[in-house]
Each structure stands twice: as structure tokens, then as C-alpha cells.
Amino acid sequence: MRLDLASSRQAAVVDRLAPQWRAPLAQLALAWTALLALFAGDWAEMVMQWWNSSTYNHILLVPPILIWLVYQRASELAKLTPQAWWPGLIPFAGALVIWLLGDVSGLATAKHIGLVAAMQSLVVLLFGPRVSWALLFPICYAAFLVPIGDELVPALQMITADITIALTESSGIPAHIEGVFIDTPAGLFEVAEACSGVKFLIAMIALGTLVAHVCFRSWTRRIAFMALAIALPILANGVRAWGTIYIAQSQGISFAAGFDHIFYGWIFFALVMGALLAIGWKFFDRQVEDPFIDGDAIAAEPRFARLEQYTIRPAIALVGAAAMALVIVIWSSQSHVLEAELGDNLTLPAVQGWERTEYLQDYPWQPRAGGADRRLIATYADADGRVVEVFLALYSSQGEGKEAGSFGQGALPLDTEWRWQSGTTAPDGVVGERLQALGSYRRVAETWYHRGDWTGGSKLRLKIETLQDRLFLNAQPTAMLILSSEERYGVDAAQTIADFRSSTGDLGEWIDRAAALD
């Protein structure tokens, strides 16, 4: 009896579909299932980010929103006929290449973008240009499935700090700011990564995009609403941080921290979201009964007829997509087995004017280099007593869990008292970072990467160099060098590091000698 009931329900769902849609929908379901299976590890990684990271929890709502958006177009879509379209293989191939570039360079965001773009491209491939135009907004909105936004944290920290210090001083509270640290009579406050407001900003962008599409017809109003959806959470986050400092002046830091977590964390931003919708409400110009698309107009549009000359059989489209995906997966697997040969030991060469020495740090600090095959930390001092700590890590390959420059690796060790305070610029123009622990201990650190003939401080350039070698299946070792010096009275730490660097000669050649790579 239960099996008969389930079968009748399935038959009812199929009967409600327009006949010309049944086969294409089954083909799309097959293609998406194969894409999920072939890249299951990366899809699982994305879903875990949606579930475990508060920054991306809102993405859990995106799939049902996509279903709702398609459902709203269902009656008009029934007037159209999906047709497989071979030019859809072009964006599909491009999406797979983006995934490959992210995979071989260790850039997870690129992998996720590539997979979501591949999913979107399969709609174009199997449904054709006319139906894809009718589904344009849902297809584009699927981009919000990509967990992206943490890259904005440093910039948002600085913006929040600037807004906070301006409001703090204007409210009559004496304050001093250094990077993301604000010193007040009540205590030292840090605009930490969790206080950057990135999670609320990207959620508001997703919400704003949906509201702009659903509630507005005028593009001028849509753009104005999106500008407000971006600016309002940034300003509100600055107000939130200022409010915490303001309350702390009379009630103490402990009370302010608890109040911040409860009120600002759960209530304040809900009020801001409500304010955004309330402001936009009076300008909504789309009526509830207005259709999102006009199926008859799209079916009659002659420009699509020219594009539909390039239709193909769905089976050929599916075989072509499968072949492309398999080639990319095989290419990826070959690049991942690459490992460069390394020497048995790291031995730091002599540096003119500097001597190796024992050194006791004012406060414990040690960089992180997870997955590195070789590590070495040493201390050098010159005749004036200036001290530089040298940390060198060597990798036979770059990949998941063993990537120089990845999050949590390098000069700023996670789960310690060390915090990023501000950027620094040495007299010779080299950029570094100032770190702080417990408000009293400060040091400057410069991070350098070395691969092949290239030496520099850019993580992006390192990924490009890694990408180039792995695409052409060329095994190259990677070195990460961190030079650091504690800030002490009368001693310019950035200048100290610059003088040490100039004494090593060519830094890339110095690293090669240390790692026995020359």
C-alpha cells in the first residue's frame, strides 16, 4: 500500500511537468549528480563551511531560495522548450579550468567558484539560450553558494577601527588608536577578525540582491538599494564597536563584552536588517502579482532563434561534458603527485656583520609552518646589539595541509596571544606587519617566499608560481623565510630587518644556500 501511494505521488509530480521539460530535467539531474560525485570532496568541504562557519551559515538558505525563484517562474517556463546547446560547453570548460587552477595552486575559493560555475553552465548546456535567459537571475544567484568573503576581513577591520575611533572621540572619551587596537581609560580594545562585520556584510549583500530583484523593477532603485545594503552593515558595525567601548567606560569591560554578545550579536543586527527593509519598503515598485518573466515574449524573441542553430543532441552534450571533467580530474591527480627533492638539512649561511647567538624573547613567539618538510629557527645579532630572528621552512610540494602562506600559517600564530596590529614599511619600501601580544609586547615581521628564480612577499605571486609549475607538471621546492625583530625603545625594528637583509646579499641566493638548492 505504501509503495503504491509513493508511486502515485511520483506520477502526479511528473504529470504536472510540461511534457517537453521531463527529459531535460532528468538529464540535468543526472549531470548535477555526476558533478557532485566526481568532485564530492570539494562539495563536502563547501557544505561544511556553510554549516560550521558563522560567516557562511546564511548560505544554507540559498538552495531553498533558488528552488523558490524557479517555482515563481514555473508557469511561464512551461511555455518554453529546453534544447541542448553546444556553446554551453565553453563556459563549462572554463569553469573546470578555474577549478583546476584553484586545485593546483591550493586556492580553495577558486575551486568552489569553478564548481558552482560548472553547475550553472550545465543549465545553459542542457536548456539552451532561451530557457537560460528566462532563468538568468536564479542561475546568477547560485553564485552565493560560494563561501567567499573572509578575504575582506583585514580591510573591514581597519574601516571599523576608523569609524569606532571617530565616534569614540566625538563622544568625549579620550582614546588612542594603533592599527586595530584602541586604548581608552576603561582598557585596551581590539577590533578583532570576529568584530570586522564580514559575516553580516556578505549576508546583507545576499539579502539585498534578492530583495532588489523581487521587490524592484527600476534599475536605479535597485542600485540605490544595493548601495544601502552594503553601506548600512559597515556603518552599523562601527556603531556596535563604539557602543561596546562607550558602555565599558561606566559598566566595565566584562559587562560590555556580555552586552555586546547578547544585544549586538542577536538583536542589533536584526534591527539593522529590519531598518534596511523598512527604508526600501516605500520605494518598492514591483507588484506582488507581477510575473518575473514573460514566457510568451521570450518564446517569440527572434534573436534566440539564431542562437538555437547550435543545438545538439543531449546525449552528445552529456558525453562532451563528462569527457572534459575526466580530463581535468586526471590532470589534477598527476599534478598532486609532484614532489621536489630536498637536502637532508637546513643550514643558515653566515651573514656579514651578524653573528649567530642565543636569545631570550621578551614574550614567546614562533611562526607556524604546518606541513613543512624542513624547519629551522635561529637568532642573529650585530655589534650594536640589534637582534633578528630568522625562521626558514622548506616544502617539497604545496597542497592541502602543507601550503606556505595559507590561513593560520606564517608570522602570526593562531590560538596565541599574538595579534595583528598594523602594517609596516621598511625604509627600503619592503612591507611587513607589526604584531602585538598582551598590549605590551610588539615585534615586526617580514615574510618572504622563494620558488625557482622568484623571491618575494606576495602570496598571490606565490600561488601563480605554484600554479604555473604544477600545470606543466614541474616539481619545484618552496621556501618560506620570516625575518622578525622585537620593538624596543630607541631601536627601529623595520630598519634592523632591512639592514640584515642587505647584509645577506641576494636573498633568493641566500635561501638557496641555506636549503642546499643551488
> What is the model's pLDDT at position 257?
66
Apex CA 331: angle with CA 330 and CA 333, to 5°?
Answer: 65
Q: Which residue has the higher pLDDT, 352 or 264?
A: 352
Looking at residue 427, what is its pLDDT? 84
- Render the burial of 21-60: b for 16+ CB within 10 Å, e for the rest: beebeebbeebeeebeebbeebbebbeebbeeeebbebbe
For 103, 276, 332, 337, 411, the CA distances from 472, given in Å and listed in that order, are 14, 50, 11, 13, 31
Least confident stretch, 54-58, 271-275, 357-361 = 357-361
pLDDT confidence bin for 16, thresholds 50/70/90: low
The mean pLDDT value for 480-500 works out to: 90
- Residue 11: its pLDDT value, please? 46
* pLDDT at 255 > cutoff 70: no
Return the pLDDT at 3: 40
Output the CA–CA distances (angstroms, integers) from residue 88 to 8, 65, 95, 196, 241, in the order listed.
36, 24, 11, 40, 48
pLDDT at 132: 95
Amino acid at 174: P
pLDDT, one tens digit per residue, over 196-209 is 888 889 999 999 99
Amino acid at the residue 189? F
Q: What is the mean pLDDT of the chain?
A: 87
Is residue 31 predicted with pLDDT exceeding 70? yes
Q: Which three cell numbers stand for residue 91?
A: 563556459
CB 372 within 8 A of CB 393: yes
pLDDT the model gives residue 13:
43
Q: Which of 505, 500, 509 is nearest to 426 (CA)?
A: 500
The string of pLDDT tens digits covering residues 131-144 is 999 999 999 999 99
* DSSP for residue 349: P
d(CA 372, CA 251): 47
Phi, psi (degrees; rounded to nearest 5) at 359: -150, 135
* Residue 178, pLDDT score: 78
Residue 264: per-residue pLDDT: 63
**Identity of the highest mean pLDDT range in 29-43, 331-345, 375-389, 496-510:** 29-43
pLDDT at 518: 57
Q: How confident is the model at residue 9 (pLDDT cuts 50, 70, 90)?
A: very low
Cβ–Cβ under 8 Å, residues 470 and 335? yes
Cβ atoms within 10 A of the Cβ of 90, count? 12
CA distances from 348 to 116, 352, 381, 481, 512 (A): 45, 13, 14, 11, 10
Pick the closest to residue 373 from 477, 469, 514, 517 (CA basis): 477
pLDDT band at 180 (very low <50, low <70, confident <90, very high): confident
pTM, 2 dp? 0.80
Please compute the mean of the pLDDT values over residues 144-164 and round it to a whole number: 89
Q: What is the mean pLDDT of residues 295-324?
A: 92
Q: Name the percent of the chain lying above pLDDT 90.
A: 46
Percentage of residues in the chain with pLDDT exceeding 70? 94
Please give the pLDDT value at position 107: 82
Across residues 88-98, what is the average pLDDT? 96
- Least trusted range by pLDDT, from 48-62, 166-180, 281-295: 166-180
pLDDT of residue 266: 63
Question: Residue 262 — pLDDT band, cuts 50, 70, 90?
Answer: low
Q: Record the cell numbers describing residue 410, joined without a space.
A: 606564517
Mean per-residue pLDDT for 399-424?
Answer: 83
User: 372-396: per-residue pLDDT in tens?
Assistant: 888 888 899 999 889 999 999 998 8
